[in-house]
Amino acid sequence: MTCRPGLVKLPAVPRPSFTPRLLALLMAAPAFAAGLDYHVDINAPAPLAELLRHNLGILRWKGNDYIDREQLERLYEATPKEIETLLAPQGYFQPKIESSIKLERKGWQLQFTVEPGEQAMVHDVDVRVEGAIVNEPDFRARWAELLEVWPLPIGGNFTQSEWSGAKRRGLQALIIDRFPAATISQSRAEIDPAKASAELTVNYDSGPRFTFGELQVKGLQKYPRTLIERFSTFKAGEGYSQQKLLDFQTALQNTPYFSSVFVDVPIDASKPDGVPVSLELVEAPRYKTEVGLGFDTDKGPRASVVYRDSNLRRRGWIGTVDLKLQRREQSFNAGVEFPPNSDGYRYAGNFVLKHEDVSGVNTTTQTVKVQRSRQKGKIEITQALQYTMGHEKTEDKPEQRNKALILSQDWSRISVDNPADPRRGLLLNWQLGGAAKTLFSSTNFVRAWGRVGWYHPLGEDGLLLLRGEAGQVVSDDTAAVPNDWLFRAGGAGSVRGYDYQTLGLKTASGAVEGGRVLATASAEYQHKIVGKWRAAVFADVGGAANDWLSFKAHKGYGVGARWASPVGPFALDVAYGATDKKVRVHFSLGVGF
């Protein structure tokens, strides 16, 4: 920061003529074998007092063996000037400082009383941009945006840190998009202490416009280069963009192909055209087998085996075979996923055989499914077409067979600070699907479902979680709708205090079938106890029914413990179900909202 000559010279602050008396006091004081014992009081407004206590030399030297009477005098006399120096970057240019020193039985007592005066206010801001950017079609829009988000507006209080931050933020806005060699050619803060005003000027030089050149790949041996190009977010000749490079790197890191991805672009203002993009890769093993063991109170103990080949036919196709065994659910899944196409869509197909025995309903389904999905930023959209054949048995009903050709779309948005242990953010998900009897299905139906979860910190140690869920199926024959496309509630991720999927349509034998409507809601407060452990209190409400007229909201209350484990949030809850007046324990591992 440079300032106009003559405007930042601070007026002299009158110094009390303490020197003769101070010398007499110091000469009269007994000598100590170690350093002098003294105490310093700083009387100033709270934020500034903390700043002074952490930075004043007279406090940093306190307790040092080398502080004698002469050194203490020098520190005492230098402290008012040091206070002025520390307050100036905070926007206080005319502080009033009173100091005193006296010898008491406990040692030397020094006191500095600071009245900072009026904080400087920004009276004018002049932001200028020059260079090749002025010839860009979107120059005026970018300049207007820069001025709109400028963090030191007219009327705001001036501080050195905010001034430096504002300049960096403006420079970053140029660097990230087409002008990575941009610089601050001139900056000036003109301070008038008498008026407590600041006039700010900053000139940016965008430098030349950079464009992407060819992609240079190192470390690629197992996989075809065309696989890398499918993930590329830019083309040769396009304007340079930090965001596109970051998206490219993130996309590659999120695949099973590579264990390490490094992207680099040399920035040389003399060579802005066709800058090569250097990509260094470390390939992951082609074949991978994962074995897992676990337990939760909803489905009981589980074991899983997953085998994956990440380079089927040497084209980067991902083949997966997945076997999961749980007390209430067993499934076999075999599928293949293709790399994204030029539009960013991922296509996949799979076959699933699943058996469930939940709440007295025994269901077996076979599903063949093809889908495509695309992710842009935090939003992922998936369209799917699946053919499902199944049969359902309960003790008091004959076996029900159904089939459906279902077309569906799923939309989700994950915007949280930490997906493994969210503290702030929003989760949104909705799904719409249906089938027609004239197209290889047992009945006509349409199903809509949505879910929202909200995380919000309360102070340093508190966390509020709110969740809502609702859904409805429209059909003439509910019994012919596949079981997975109806609704049941209850369990760790739903209404706690009730067993897994026991809230729905009860049959004469006590089995619980799926209903056409669903609604649940939950409120939970967590508070940090020690380390990564948190205590929780919560209230849940909801249920499933055949229609809204017969819908009943079941309530559950409880307390629990949370632990942010390396593999996701661990949750242990003790909940009371108000409807059947029973206490149940719920255990889960993973994000439950």
Whether residue 237 sits in one domain with residue 158: no
| pLDDT at site 409 | 98
Whether residue 259 sits in one domain with residue 163: no
What is the mean predicted confidence (pLDDT) over 211-231?
92
| Domain final position from 115, 143, 178 | 115
Cα of 583 vs its chain's centroid, Å: 35
pLDDT band for 20, please (50, 70, 90 cuts): very low
Across 114-135, b (16+ Cβ under 10 Å) vs e yields: bebeeebebbebebebebbbee
Residue 393 counted as domain residue: yes
| pLDDT at site 263 | 96
How many CB atoms sit inside 10 A of residue 302's CB?
A: 17
Q: What is the CATH number of the domain that holds 165?
A: 3.10.20.310
Task: Identify the domain containing residue 275 by its residue range.
Answer: 212-283
| Domain final position from 169, 189, 205 | 205
pTM of the predicted model over 0.85: no
Whether residue 533 sits in one domain with residue 575: yes
Question: What single-letter DSSP state applies at residue 244?
Answer: H
pLDDT in tens, 390-433: 999 988 788 889 999 999 999 999 999 988 788 999 999 999 99
pLDDT band for 245, please (50, 70, 90 cuts): very high
| CB of 359 closer than 8 Å to CB of 336 | no
pLDDT in tens, 460-492: 899 999 999 999 999 989 999 999 999 999 999
Whether residue 359 sits in one domain with residue 484: yes
Whether residue 131 sits in one domain with residue 106: no
Whether residue 103 sits in one domain with residue 131: no
Residue 476 counted as domain residue: yes
Crossing angle between the packed helical segments 19-28 and 69-87, to the nearest 10 degrees? 140
Residue 323 counted as domain residue: no
Q: What percent of the chain has a predicted confidence (pLDDT) above 70? A: 93
How many helices (H) and strands (E) would you count in the chain? 8, 27
Whether residue 234 sits in one domain with residue 201: no
Whether residue 181 sits in one domain with residue 40: no
Q: What is the CATH number of the domain that holds 66?
A: 3.10.20
| Dihedral of the alpha carbons of 349, 353, 357, 358, in degrees to the nearest 10 | 0
Q: Which residue has the higher pLDDT, 12 or 481?
A: 481
Whether residue 93 sits in one domain with residue 71: yes
> 3-state DSSP call for residue 33?
coil
| Domain final position from 55, 87, 115 | 115
Whether residue 182 sits in one domain with residue 254: no
What is the mean predicted confidence (pLDDT) over 358-374?
96
Residue 290 counted as domain residue: no
| pLDDT at site 545 | 97
Cα of 151 vs its chain's centroid, Å: 23
Whether residue 216 sits in one domain with residue 195: no
**Overall domain count for the chain:** 4
Distance CA 239, CA 211 (A): 4
Whether residue 79 sits in one domain with residue 56: yes
Q: Where are the beta strands (DSSP E) in 424-516?
A: 425-435, 445-458, 462-475, 505-506, 512-513
